[in-house]
Amino acid sequence: MSGGAAQPSEQRAARVRAFELIRDVQAGAPTALDDLEALAADARRRGWSDVARAGLFGRAVHAWYSKSPGARDAVGELGERSAAENDPVMLALGLAMRADTGVSGDAPSGAGTRAEDLARAVVLLEHAGPESDAVLERTSAHTACGNTLYSRSLFELCDEQYDAALALGAAEPAHSVDFLLAPIVFNRAEVQVAWAAMLVQLDEREAAAERWRAWEQLTAAVERFEIPDTWRVELDSLGLVLAAIASIDPHLHPQLYDLALHLAATIEAGAGASAGLRYGRRQLDEHWAARLASLASMRARVEAERLSSEREVLSRHARMDDLTGIGSRRALEQYLADLERDDVESVALILLDVDAFKVVNDRYGHLAGDAVLVGIGRVLERGIRPCDLAVRLGGDEFAVVKSGADIDVACERATAFLRRIDEARFDSGDARLAVALSAGVAAGPPARIRELRAAADAALYRAKAGGGERVVRSRLARPGA
């Protein structure tokens, strides 16, 4: 995840630099992509996964802007890495980009999948936590959703995403994220022009005038940003176009009105103006109706994704240990059932127990004991792969299940857990608690989980009897032996 605990200042600076370079990639700066790739490579060496994912985002942006056939692969890699590393915000960003026809292609057969990707991205961002460290990623993800909704002419939903992105930036220190916010204001200006153009053609003059009022607010807001001169020229040009289409009046501006009629007559020459106008109006009506239907469909998809996500959250909480936030016994049962269903041949079970935990509770109190259990849960969760599971079985007993692992690998992992807990220091008021674990390890097929549990229990008992703070393995007897 990009949010959470405070990061070292050097890592935070690298994240900011990565997103500044992504901005430069969008602007076509000649060395920006090379600089970003170098930064991402250094981040991978240092273990800064959030900076590395930003590098993937920049590569996908470059591929998209350059119309490269590799855009789909670049966006796919961003999504896969974000999912594997449990980063829902960057996953949402990848889904929003994948939903854009510029990446996925505009084949009608893929329209449903693109809409599902976009709805899922919107809901993922709604569930993203308010961690301040994720502002860069969340702002970029909301912007990507807005851009893709704009490409579908879903202006209302597009505005909601841009609003969310700007609200994030407004909560940050002055000017700290202006390099991300300025393009959003520019994008919103484009939206007003496109929206008004369709409304004027439908003779919805008052609605078009509302877009003009929104434009005036945007141009007032953009004054606080430092943007390139070329952007200001384009904004001014868009403003003139919007003012013309929103307020042109044949009595106040007869020359402009006559010019518009002249251009229309030139285009329709020889085709029969009356029939052409009727045909054009019918096409506009049908296009607007299709847009409204698409808007309603997307709202329904987003709401369905919300309901699905809420059910998943409720289900996940039912399988979560209330104190530590890791899995519970119910999560373990479901996980093992899934492994058996997927024909996983072998799992390794690590049972862990706190040495002399009663002494911690008796001497320092149950709040200190709870803090120890929470800390152990955090160490276990951070020390497993996405395909593994860490659970609290109850009291001070924990379990880790490693899919597809043999007993040697599991023993190495258990030893690493014990070392990390030994190195950790748990606070209890003025005291610093040293905590130790014992572990019992067994490996075998998921279908024999009861035997695995008994074998690991026996190994854990031997570890305790031997003085604790050690790992003991137990070989599972072969069937019929």
Q: Which residues touch 55 (CB under 8 Å, ≥6 apart)?
A: 18, 36, 37, 39, 40, 41, 43
Q: Which helix (H) or strand (E) holds 398?
A: strand 397-403
Q: What is the pLDDT of residue 175?
A: 79
Residue 288, burial from CB neighbour count under 10 angstroms (0-12, 13-18, 19+): middle
pLDDT exceeds 80 at position 337: yes
Cα–Cα dist 98/100, whole Å: 5
Mean pLDDT score, 272-300 = 73
Q: How confident is the model at residue 84 (pLDDT cuts 50, 70, 90)?
A: confident
Q: Which of 151-155, 156-160, 245-249 has the least mean pLDDT?
A: 245-249
Q: Which of 71-75, 280-284, 477-481 has the least mean pLDDT?
A: 477-481
Q: Which of 86-100, 125-139, 397-411 has the least mean pLDDT?
A: 125-139
Q: Cβ–Cβ contacts within 10 Å for residue 332, how many?
A: 21
Cα–Cα dist 155/137, whole Å: 23
Nearest to 242 by CA among 286, 199, 211: 211
Average pLDDT across the chain, whole number:
82
Token pair 């935990």 is found at: 357
Cα–Cα dist 249/43, whole Å: 58
Contacts 24+ apart (CB under 8 A), 462-470: 463/438, 463/439, 464/353, 464/355, 464/438, 468/355, 468/356, 468/436, 468/438, 469/355, 469/418, 469/422, 469/436, 469/437, 469/438, 470/418, 470/438, 470/439
Mean pLDDT score, 107-129 = 82
Q: Over the stretch 402-458, which tens digit does the pLDDT of each residue have?
A: 988 889 999 999 999 999 888 877 766 556 677 899 999 999 888 888 888 999 999
Q: Which of 35-44, 78-87, 269-278 has the least mean pLDDT?
A: 269-278
Mean pLDDT score, 36-54 = 92
% of the chain with per-residue pLDDT over 70: 83
Q: What is the pLDDT of residue 270?
A: 45
Is beta strand 431-433 parallel, antiparallel or unpaired with respect to 397-403? Answer: unpaired
Q: Which of 73-82, 287-296, 464-473 has the least mean pLDDT?
A: 287-296
Instruction: Kindly provide the residue ranges of all beta strands, DSSP E only, lying in 243-326, ordered along the sequence.
Output: none
Identity at 364, one-letter amino acid code: Y
Cα–Cα dist 320/335, whole Å: 12
Token pair 């930036």 is found at: 169
- Helix, strand, coil percentages (3-state) for the chain, rounded to 5, are 70, 10, 20
Q: What is the pLDDT of residue 137?
A: 93
CATH number for the segment(s) 329-474: 3.30.70.270
pLDDT exceeds 50 at position 188: yes
Q: What is the largest CA-CA distance in the chain?
A: 100
Half-sphere exposure at residue 363, Cβ-oriented, CA atoms within 13 angstroms: 10
The values of phi and psi at residue 444, to 5°, are 170, -170
Positions annotated as catalytic residues are 396
Mean pLDDT score, 7-13 = 78
Range from 183-197, 357-371, 410-424 that averages highest in pLDDT: 410-424
Cα–Cα dist 275/261, whole Å: 16
Q: What is the pLDDT of residue 185?
A: 86
pLDDT exceeds 80 at position 262: no
Mean pLDDT score, 171-181 = 84
Q: What is the pLDDT of residue 5?
A: 41
Cα–Cα dist 284/281, whole Å: 5
pLDDT exceeds 50 at position 3: no
Q: Over the stretch 305-328, which tens digit does the pLDDT of each residue have?
A: 877 776 665 555 567 888 888 888
Q: Cβ–Cβ contacts within 10 Å for residue 297, how many?
A: 14
Q: What's the start-to-end Cα distance of the chain, in Å?
A: 47
Torsion sign across C-alpha atoms 332, 337, 338, 339: positive
Domain definitions of the chain by residue range: 9-310, 329-474
